[in-house]
A and B are shown apart, each in its own frame.
Chain A
Amino acid sequence: DAGVIQSPRHEVTEMGQEVTLRCKPISGHDYLFWYRQTMMRGLELLIYFNNNVPIDDSGMPEDRFSAKMPNASFSTLKIQPSEPRDSAVYFCASSFMVGTGANVLTFGAGSRLTVL
């Protein structure tokens, strides 16, 4: 398996533009997570899905952020309109519940977003 695949790896955009980040989880994983990493706030969980259904979106910062998972192999995180404070590295991770019940995450390489 190629692991969790994220695109684009780097995105530079101007304030007010729409940004779409994409994620392909590992086949067979039924949980998908979106995290945001910044120097100031560290790693923050934004939202997670189980079997394509959003379970907890309490970490989504505001209505400008939205996430979808139309099928088991694809998810998007959209920011509209983008603002400079959205600049961060956005990680997608997927998992399945192993026998011990521990939720082990496999992360993608991340999408580095810069909003000018």
Chain B
Amino acid sequence: AQSVTQLGSHVSVSEGALVLLRCNYSSSVPPYLFWYVQYPNQGLQLLLKYTSAATLVKGINGFEAEFKKSETSFHLTKPSAHMSDAAEYFCAVSKTGGFKTIFGAGTRLFVKA
């Protein structure tokens, strides 16, 4: 079975500071990994996905994530936070070729001026 654990339900950063949102996965088979973002009163939108092509994955809005098999991690980073990045971020996993996507509990990002 696949699962993801997001460390920290809330993260607060200052505008311009590094954003680091942590995600660890558990999977008995090679996984596909995703980060989605949810803005208030909206559905989730895909930020980026890992499908084994490259361990460093670049997404939209300047976000990127690195797949580290040895650490079973897929942390999300952005060098410089903007106020518009304030949202909830979800890490997710599915099996290679699978259709069931399992989401983490989410991390709410606050950006201080």
Chain A positions within 8 Å of B, measured between CB atoms, are: 4, 31, 33, 35, 42-43, 45, 48, 50, 55-56, 91, 93, 95, 97, 100-110
Contact = CB atoms under 8 A, between A and B. Distances in A.
A10 B110 CA distance: 26
A109 B51 contact: no
Which secondary structure characterizes the binding site on chain B?
loop
Given A103-B32, A104-B49, A31 B99 contact: yes
Contact of B41 (A4, A56, A108, A109): A109
B73 to A, nearest CB: 19
B44 A45 contact: no
A43 B101 CA distance: 10
B97 A101 contact: yes
Interface in B83-107: 90, 94, 96-106
Contacts of B51: 100-102
Contacts of B105: 42
A100 B53 CA distance: 9
Which of B32, B44, B49, B98 has the most chain A CB atoms closer than 10 A to its own CB? B44
A25 B49 CA distance: 21
Contact of B49 (A33, A35, A91, A102): A102
A48 B99 CA distance: 9
Contacts of A105: 36, 44, 46, 101
B78 to A, nearest CB: 21
A93 B43 contact: yes
A93 B101 CA distance: 11
A43 B34 CA distance: 14
B43 A45 contact: no
Contacts of B96: 101
Contacts of A109: 41-43
Contacts of A103: 32, 94, 98-99, 101
